[in-house]
Chain A
Amino acid sequence: MPNPTALTPYPVTITKIVDETSDVKTFTVVFDDPEIMENFGNKPGQVCMLSVFGEGESTISITSAPTRGKFLEFTVKRVGRLTDVLHQMEVGQKFGVRGPYGNWFPFDIMKGKDLFFVGGGFALAPIRSLIDYALSDQYRSDYGKVEILYGSRSYDDLCFKSDLFERWPGLSNTAIYTTVDRGDENWKGRVGHVPGYVEEVAPSPENKFAIIAGPPIMIKFALPVMEKLGFKDEQIITTLEMRMKCCLGKCGRCNIGSKFVCVDGPVFSLAQLKNMPQEY
């Protein structure tokens, strides 16, 4: 049955706000209607439309895994009108959410495989849901080694610091690699760009999926590295961004060729992308 009320947002209440960087915040929210929360059924990689009344709607990835509990997390970068107003909100306040939309990471096909995550800057947000899904008690045994290679401009620009430095490192069969473009007094770790670090860590493509998300420039330089390491296009998974308004395949604007990124994406393999017009 198609959902006829797909354009209607439902109220959520903010229960927690984390300042990730100077212009990125993570909002934890729960639906006011417990039934909606219970049946939301989001899968890792899906997105929602956030309504900030007076400003309209924005597409934001669900950065939390459904395995972590009955709440949603959105990590939002302040870039324009709506995200600016959202950044001024406080715990206890409400906004609207509709979703979940789009496809999801192929976590079924990924079963039995190692996962190598490559993230740049604030774009760890869309893949964090899959990281937490694969690392959850419930599904951990379905996946092999989980490695996360993540970098940003500086220490201050690293998102999800508590995940990177506290929550994830202790977990079994997991490796975390972090790097920053520019070192400073707060940073004792590696300095350098993400693609170079991937080359250095040199993951073997054997029995592995690589999940990559980051600014276009990072992706541009990371892909040849993956190719050199022997990764096939089918093994490389990424997410796309297009301007969106409806997220329902109706308003028209997010198309790449005959595909609507909002319903057919945002998750694509490199093999799929190579068969689509280069118009994104």
Chain B
Amino acid sequence: MEARIVKKGQLSELLDKLAQEYDLVAPVQEETLTFFRKVSGAKDVFLEYTNSDVSPKGCFLPQNEKTFNYTYTGDSLEIVKPGDEKKTVLFGARPCDARAITTLDPVFEGEKFGDEYYSSKRENTVIIGLSCSKVLSTCFCYAFDGGPCDGTGSDLLFTEIGDKYYVEVNTEKGKVLADKYSQIFSSQGADQLAKGKEEIAKKLAGEFVRKVDLTGVKELLDDNFELPFWNGDDYKKCIGCGTCTYVCPTCHCFDIFDHTIGDFNGARFRCWDSCMYPEYTLMAGGHNPRPTRKERVRNRFMHKLKYHLDRYNMVGCVGCGRCIRKCPVNIDITKIINDLKEVAQNA
């Protein structure tokens, strides 16, 4: 694999250049929260974050997205779709989040049905990953074969080593970008830094606080939909706020609705939805196949630990820990996993 070096002192220059030529999406701080937003240059970018509060999945599946405008009079109908996506660079995706995007790919780029909105953003976006330099107490990416310096999903992966970034060029797309700014992405001496990165990765791997053991969990869930475990106290705490799914980088559920403007015009939108809301599965006539929080909480964890794997042979959780940090009542996926492991062991 090819590697380059970017001097830390040149990062601002790079970000400014990128913002001029592309839509640059990068971490920004708003009050105490970190989001990924379109920025005008290096001065907007906030780099002192461990992980953003909301994941950058919105780059590809925006929280609210117009799919088309319509003009409808009853006897005439016209649909106008938005134009092509602008070339975009997503800078600063942490390895868990970059990896999460690869778990969304098979959902939106399915065998039978594609998704022009997702795919055009995906095609037009270069993802620059940024290795972690700290591990949070809620992180557990290692449990799903990820890591603080893992390059899965990143076209380029930046790892901070002293006063430099060691840059791994993981894809052709990444190479094209690095070549375009070859004065900043220097090839000289890059290979010598590979060892330094390995050491950092190794050091960080030892810093995880949460011990998560998935042994037997998938098999247990494969054989048991009804488990007394789901009747336990966890779901009773849930207030159905949907925060866990909004902040999650692998959650992809959406709603579709129309917004009318005047008598004849309007737009169709899709927006993030949450399986934790009762209305999510509520059918006309009042029947609800997941009527209580028990079924909804179970469905969320089944999706993360089983369903996504069954369908796409990919984990549905990347261990970013956001749902743990953000849940107002401390429902903790690592506790659920470890409890399920216990159940599996005692079965």
Contacts and interface: CB of A to CB of B under 8 A. Distances in A.
A54 B260 contact: yes
Interface residues of A, number: 45
For the complex, would chain B's binding face be called helix, strand, loop or mixed by DSSP majority? mixed
Interface string A250-273: 111101111000010000000000
Nearest to B263: A54
Given A2-B111, A4-B115, 4 more contacts: A92-B75, A248-B113, A251-B253, A252-B273
A241 B72 CA distance: 29
B229 interface: no
B257 interface: yes
Interface string B284-297: 11010110000100
A173 B78 CA distance: 47
A240 to B, nearest CB: 10
A251 B118 CA distance: 13
Interface stretch (A7-15, A194-202, A206-214, A222-230): A7-15
B244 to A, nearest CB: 14
B225 interface: yes
Interface in B266-304: 266, 268, 270, 273, 275, 280-285, 287, 289-290, 295, 299, 302-303
Contacts of B72: 53-54, 94
A205 B76 CA distance: 51
Contact of A258 (B119, B270, B283, B306): B306
A246 interface: yes
Nearest to A9: B79
A51 B67 CA distance: 13
Interface of B: 67-68, 70, 72, 74-77, 79, 81, 107-117, 119, 225, 252-258, 260, 266, 268, 270, 273, 275, 280-285, 287, 289-290, 295, 299, 302-303, 306-307, 310-311
Contacts of B74: 89, 93-94
A279 B68 contact: no
Contact of A2 (B114, B255, B258): B114
A264 B108 CA distance: 16
A242 B284 CA distance: 10
A249 interface: yes
A249 B253 CA distance: 10
A171 interface: no
A253 to B, nearest CB: 5
